[in-house]
Structures are given as C-alpha cells and as structure tokens.
Structure 1
Amino acid sequence: MHFGFGFKSSTLLIFFIHGLVFTLLLLYKGIRNEHKSSFWLAGFIFLCSMYIAPFMLGYAGWYGIKSHREVLFFIPFQQLFLLPPLLYFYVKSSLTPSFIFQRKDWLHFIPAIVYAVYSLIIWIADKMILDEYYFYADGRDKDLALWYQISGFILLVFYLFASLKHYNKYKKKTYETVSFADSILYVWIQRFLIAFLGLLLIRILFFILNPEWANFGNKYWYYLSFSILFYYIALSGYVHSIKINLPYLPQLSKSFSVDFLAEAEEETTGTETTEKAEIEITQADKELQKQLEHFMTSEKLFTNPNLTLFDVASKLNTHPKKVSNIINKGFKMNFNDFVNNYRTQEVIKKVTASENNTKTLLGIALDSGFNSKSTFNRAFKKHTQQTPKEYFSQKN
C-alpha cells in the first residue's frame, strides 16, 4: 500500500501510531480495573488519532490515488460532533467516581449520530446506487467542508467551557470538604482544557491572519500542535489512571455517604434556605464554633491526613453543611485552608520547640497532618507568605 514518507506525513504518523497504542492501553486499564473514565479517554484518544489521519494520509499522497482517495472520502475520519461530548464525559467520570451514564445523556450524541447517518447516505448513493460521484462530484472531502469544520469548532468550544465549569465546581467543593484537596484536584485536567482552548484560539488567529488557511498544505502546523496536545492528554491520562488507587481513596469513599461533587450539584435546600443561613448567625453557631476550636486544639484532629468535613461533623454531632457554614463565616476560610492552618501552626510550634533536632522538617510536617512535601510547602506559604526555609531562617 502506497505511503509517501515525507517530513509532514512521518511526523503525524508517529503521533497517529502512539494514539492507537494509548487507546489499547487505556482500554486494557479500563477493563482490568473497571475504570469508567479510562473508556471515555480511550474513545477520545482514538478519535483524535482519526482526526489527524486525513492530513497524515494526504501528505503521504493518498488524495492523488483514486482507490485511496475513496477511502478518505467515504470514511468519516474527523468526528467533530463526537469528540466534544467524549471529552466532557471523560472529565465528568474522572471527577465523579459514581458517575453513571443515563438515557438522557444520549442527547449529547445526537449531532454525531445525524452526521454518521449523513455520511452513510452519501456512501450508499455514490457507491451503491449511482455508482458514480454525485455528492463528491467536486472532488472535495466532506469532512473538510467549511460548515462542518465551523460547527465542530463551535461545539468543541462549548463542551470545553462546560468541562472547565464542571472542574471548577469540583475544585470548590473539594476545598470545602476535604483537608487533602491538593492530592485529588487533577490539576492536569484543568491545564489541558485551558491548553485546548488556547489551541482553538490559535486556529481562529491563523484563519484570520492567513488567507491561505483553507489550503490543505498550510494546515500542517495546526495539526502538529493538535497532535502534541492529544499526546499529552493520552500520556497524562494513562499515568493518572495508574495512580488512581492512592492510599486515602478507600477511606474517602467510606467517609462520603454520597459522592461529594454530586452533592454539590444538588439544590435540595432551596435558595431561600441558603440565603437565610448566610444571614443568621445564632448563638448556637457560636457555641459550635467554640467546640470546633476545642476539638482541633485539644484532640488535634488536623493530624489525621485524611480528615474530611464529614469526620469533623460526626465529632460535633451535627450536619456537615453546618460545620462548613461556620468555617466559612466564622473563620473566613474553606475547610481545606482551615485545617492546613492548624497544621502549619503545629509545624511552627514543633520547630520552635526544637523538635527538628531529632526529626527533619518534612517528618514534622507529616506528623502534623500534611500528606506530602509539595502540599506542605504550598499551605505553609499561603498561611505565612513565606516558604518554610525563608520563614525559619528569618526566625533563627
């Protein structure tokens, strides 16, 4: 089978092959560990590989050979209506372990299904009924039609913003619910979503500044950038699917009676109840605040690296939302910052008491409830405006 190995076709071929390899690896990981998110990512990476295929094969000379050109014409490689919802459901299933695909979720795939039927009709008409090019009389690939490319572009932007919104909601609820938020934030997801938006903005810029953008040959650098980005997504997603079985996750799932992100999306309390809770600060709230401070200082609940809002609420014999409300209003912090502030003060107290003569600073930090060096450094600087090294050097 003819394939012209040039610079453009060869570089895209490398990413294409790697995309297929990661698709298989993620499928294996999903089957073996029953990770729903791995299946969604596998589908997304596979479609990304197919997305660059027409240009890879085009630079290899396929559009110049009739039998090869028909393959490019009649196989819808660029699934621009299917890529965006797959990305969205990957993000959603990664951040919400209890996510279940429901019947209503099929609505997201209606545009992709319609386009698949459209492609099938064209193939049946040109190859089986008319036995000649009718829809393809102009000799141009329908996947590269302007209306389809623009529609797919708009859809991708919409789902990227929806994914970012979902991530930000998850991030906010995480900081309000657990004391080890940095460990489960999936920061890389936010990074690649923002990078994806940046790539789309570059595409708009090229389209405006480069009058020849519509020419096949001038799109190489965009597709190379797209390939690098989806390779990063594939690699990062696979690495995180390996790291997903972290030590604190089993305890986390036991502590939460429901998925905390799902709870964040519920509005069962009603707007009026929420506004009333924000306005009223009762004497009982103040008493509960004092109890909370007592338990944190006397029993040192913060030394538990897996401490959650539910653990504290259970200790105080009240509802988690009550505790969250008190911390937000009484201490002007979220739960994560509240607990890490106690941990930071504990580290300072122990170092001042010269415990660092027998233990390293990291050892003291771990004893104080931090679960990693990076989390300790970030929290310490946030609460003291200095790094641990700067702070203790100044004190000495």
Structure 2
Amino acid sequence: MTFEFNAYSAPLLFGFIQGWIYALLLWVRARREERLSDWLLGWVLVGLSFNIWEYMLGFGGIEILWRELEFFPRTIGFLFPALCYFYLKSQINADFRFSRHDLWHAVPFLVYVVYHLIVFSMGPAFVERWKATVHYPYHINDIESVAGIALSVYYLILSLRLYRQYRAWIKTQFSDTETISFRWFRNFLIALTATFLFSLFMMILDVVFTLTFWQDWWDELAGVFMIYYVGIHGYAQVQPGRRLTFGQTTVTDSSPDGVGVEPERVPESVLQTSELARLVSRTPTALATDLIPWRDTLLAYMENERPYLDPDLSLNDLARRLKTNTSVLSPVINAGTGKNFNDFVNQYRVDAFKRQALDPANGHLSLLGIALDCGFNSKATFNRAFKKLTGQSPREFVESVE
C-alpha cells in the first residue's frame, strides 16, 4: 500500500501531519502548564485533521476506508463544534472544568458512533446490504448531514454570544482590556464561520451539479488552510498575565458575611474637592440609599489615593483596597457614576493626562510618556480611551488649548 503524491494528495497530507504535530505540542504544553484550553485546542486540530483524511487517502490511492473500514466512524464531526465552543470557554475562564451536565454535548456524537459501530461489526456483506436497503433509502445519510450542519450553527451561535458577553464583562472588571481582548478569540470565530460557509457552499454545489471526487477537493484544501491557521496562531496565542474567571463571581470579603465593612460617610466638603464628583450629579440612574456611603468613599479614595495610576487595576483589586467585594462595588460604579468600570477608571486617567499635558513643567515629555505616567499601559489603549471620553484625539486636545 503506497501513498501516491500528487497535486491533490500532497497538500492534504502536509495539512494532516501539521495538525497532529501542533496537537502534540499543545498537549505537551497543556500537561506542563495544566492548561485545559491547550488540551481542547489539540483536539480541535485532531478534528480538523480527520475532516480531510478521507480525501487525503483517496487522492493518495489508499482505499482502506472504503474497503476494510467501510461504515466505520471516520471523523469526530458531531463532536467538533462542541470542542470549539468549550475551547473558547476554557480560554476565558481558567477555573472551567467539565461537569456531568456537560456530557449531553457528546450525545449526538455517541449516537453516531454507536450506530456506525453496530452496523460495521456485522461484517462487510451486511454493511453493503444495510446501505442499499436502509441507510440510503431512508435518508439516514441525509439526516446525518443536516444534523451536522445544525450542530455547527448551534455552537457557532453559542460561541458568538459567549464572545459578546465576554467583551462586555471585561469592561466591568478591568481598567485595561487591551491584553485580554482576545483578538484570537474573534479571529478564530471568523475563521470557523468562513470555513463552515465555504463547506456549505461546496455541499450545495455537490447536490446541484453532482461534483466528482476531484472537483470537490477545494473544500478539503480550505480545511488545510484552517489547520495551519489554527495550529500556528493558536499555539502562539499569548496567554493573559492575569487569571481570567469569566462566568464566575469573584468575591473579596473583608467581613464574615461577605458584604464588607460599612464605610464612614465622607463629608460633602471632601467630595467637592474631587474632580470626578461631577459624575454624581450627572448620573441619571438611582443609587440605592445604602450604597451612597460607598459611592462617597469610592470617589474620595480615587481622588486621594489615585489607584488609577496602576495600569493593571481591576475591579477586584479596587474592592480589596476599599475592604469590600465586587458585588458591592460594581453597582456603586455603574449606578453611582453612570459608567462601567473601564470607563470610570480611564476617565480619571484622561483627566490626569489633561492636567499634566497642560503643565509647562512637562513640556519636555511626549504625550505617550505623560499617558503612561497617568496609568495607561499602551498607546493604542490611551488613544482609544481618550477619543471615547473626550471626542477628540490627544493631539487635537493639546492643540485646541495652546
């Protein structure tokens, strides 16, 4: 049994090998660093590799799958969409672990495997008879195809929703979202969507025009590109420096009941010295009476202690400093200032930048240098936040007051 290298088989073979190489690298790193996301991404690559191996062997002249292994389960197609979803879920939640409740995601795959193994175990003659009298006449093959499409759409929707929720969540938890925005998350979803739509397009062409084995090759080539992209970029994905626990309630307790200690009411005279106190009077959202002392304490603390100068400041960090927990501090910020945590902290940084940029003593400093001194950790983050909160770029602001 010799593999024939040609223009059709060679690219698929290289993609298949590439997928397994990166899967092994990911599994080694997963074992070393105890990272579930790497385990799952390795299986995603295995799934992508098995998606092309039928055509790879067929173009290479090896027909074992259509002779000795006819009807044997050849791919993990019904499990692949769920693997992608759980990979993304484990990326943004370091505490994620599979539970018994998650087993239902494997049911379609298990049904597919059991059905095919039972028929396969009856022998080649029975397989051919079953295909001719049951599998094709009763459109079981078509049902499998439709089920595969439905699962892909379902998990793609779940993944897109997860991404949107995560993007909204980080703005309420971190003052710097640049390093944890997971562009790879977004790009991975785009690549999955593009590959799925192209496969669906080729499937429609195959139904309409009855494409030959050779004409249907482009779908498999797209799978090779997907393997290279996911393998290279997925392995190189920079992991966030902080531990992400999206979907979990992060609590920093300083009292036995977990609510935190009651702060002393800050005098109005102290509050009025805060430049950000103007947020209180402009906030349209009603703040619960029992949270007003926390709002006063927060604004005074931000003005006097300037925690916003810490580029990595998070909601959990600020709650710990104020001796409360995030479940108290989050509504204080949202309802008490009308901003999410990210905008709330960046407003202080922007105001600090304005003061320092207009100070003649800082004339020798660059705008970026001043921004870094005010708590921003990158030029992109600074420009984006300044534009959002002021409606103009930092350069436009400086030039408008000169």
Query: 1:244: which partner in 2?
Result: 239
8 Å contact 1:177–1:335 — kept in the other structure? yes
Question: Which of 106, 126, 134 is 2:129 aligned to?
Answer: 134
What SS class does the counterpart of residue 98 from structure 1 fall into? coil
1:150 aligns with 2:146: yes
Structure 1 gaps of 5+ residues are 254-258, 265-277
User: Structure 1 residue 334: deviation in Å?
Assistant: 0.9
- Which of 162, 165, 175 aligns to 1:166? It is 162
Amino acid in structure 2 at the alignment position of 1:102? S
In 2: Cα distance, 1:4 partner to 1:384 partner: 64
Match of 1:263 in 2: 249
Q: Deviations over 1:320-345 (max 9, x none)?
A: 23322232223322101111121122
1:123 aligns with 2:123: no
Query: What's the secondary structure of 1:31's corresponding residue?
Result: helix
1:5 match: 5
Structure 1 stretch displaced more, 98-107 or 371-380: 371-380
Report deviation, 1:303.
0.5
Distance 1:114 1:283, change over 3 A: closer
- Cα distance in structure 1, aligned partners of 2:288 and 2:82: 46
Q: Which amino acid aligns with 1:322?
A: V
Q: What is the rounded CA distance, in whole Å, between the counterparts of 1:23 and 1:204 in structure 2?
A: 26
More displaced 10-residue stretch of structure 1: 193-202 or 177-186: 193-202
- RMSD value over aligned CA atoms? 3.0
Distance (whole Å) between structure 2 residues aligned to residue 11 and residue 394 of structure 1? 58
Preserved CA contact (<8 Å) 2:295 2:332:
yes
Per-residue deviation, 1:288: 3.2
For 1:291 and 1:170, how far apart are their aligned partners in 2? 29
Q: Distance in 2 between matches of 1:327 and 1:383?
A: 16
Change (3 A) 1:136 1:311: same
TM-score for both structures, normalised by structure 2: 0.80
Q: What residue in structure 1 maps to residue 390 of structure 2?
A: 384
Identity level (%): 34
Q: Cα gap change, 1:386/1:14 in structure 2, threshold over 3 Å: closer, same or farther?
A: farther
Match of residue 364, structure 1, among 363, 366, 370:
370
The separation in 2 between residues aligned to 1:213 and 1:192, in whole angstroms, is 31
Any conservation in 2 of the 1:44–1:83 contact (CA below 8 Å)? yes
Query: 1:219 aligns to what?
Result: 216
Distance 1:208 1:284, change over 3 A: same
**Structure 1: which amino acid aligns with 2:300?**
H
What is the DSSP-based 3-state SS (H/G/I as helix, E as strand, rest coil) of the residue aligned with 1:371? coil
| Aligned partners of 2:368 and 2:379 also within 8 Å | yes
Most deviating of 188-197 and 386-395: 386-395
Q: Kindly report which structure 2 residues correspond to 1:294-305, keeping only aligned pairs within 5 A, or say none.
A: 294-305=300-311
Q: Does structure 2 conserve the Cα–Cα contact (< 8 Å) formed by 1:377 and 1:387?
A: yes
Deviates more, 1:306-315 or 1:100-109: 306-315
Cα deviations across residues 240-273 of structure 1 (Å, max 9, x unaligned)?
A: 2xx3262xx2xx57xxxxx452229xxxxxxxxx
| TM-aligned CA deviation for residue 286 of structure 1 | 4.0
Map residues 16-95 of structure 1 onto 2, 5 A cutoff.
Answer: 16-63=16-63, 67=64, 69-70=66-67, 73-95=70-92
Q: Which letter does structure 1 place at the counterpart of 2:83?
A: L
User: In structure 2, the residue corresponding to 1:29 is in which secondary structure?
Assistant: helix
Which residue of 298, 323, 343 corresponds with 2:349? 343
Offset from partner CA, 1:140-169 (integer Å, 9 cap, x none): 99xx94332221111111111112222222
Number of the residue aligned with 1:334: 340
Indicate how the Cα distance of structure 1 residues 186 and 245 shifts in structure 2: closer, same or farther if over 3 A, else same: closer
Tell me which of 325, 345, 354 is aligned to 2:331. Answer: 325
- The structure with the largest helix share of the pair is 1
Alignment check: 8 A CA contact 1:173 1:260 kept? yes
Contact 1:212–1:218 under 8 Å retained in 2: no
Query: Structure 2 vs 1, CA of residues 336 and 110 (structure 1 numbering), >3 Å: closer, same or farther?
Result: same
Distance 1:337 1:237 in 2: 30
Confirm or deny: 8 A CA contact 2:47 2:75 kept in the other structure. yes
Given that 2:179 and 2:240 are in contact with CA atoms closer than 8 Å, whether structure 1 keeps it comes out as: no
Distance 1:214 1:201 in 2: 18
Contact 1:88 / 1:163 at 8 angstroms: preserved in 2? yes
Q: Does 1:191 align with 2:187?
A: yes
**Which runs of 5 or more structure 2 residues have no equivalent in the other structure?**
251-283
Please report how far the alpha carbon of residue 123 of structure 1 lies from its aligned counterpart in structure 2 after TM superposition. Answer: 2.3
Q: 385-394 vs 369-378, which deviates more? A: 385-394
- SS in structure 2 at match of 1:7: coil
Q: Report how many aligned residue pairs link the two structures.
A: 364
Aligned pair in 2 of structure 1 residues 92, 58: CA closer, same or farther (>3 Å)? same
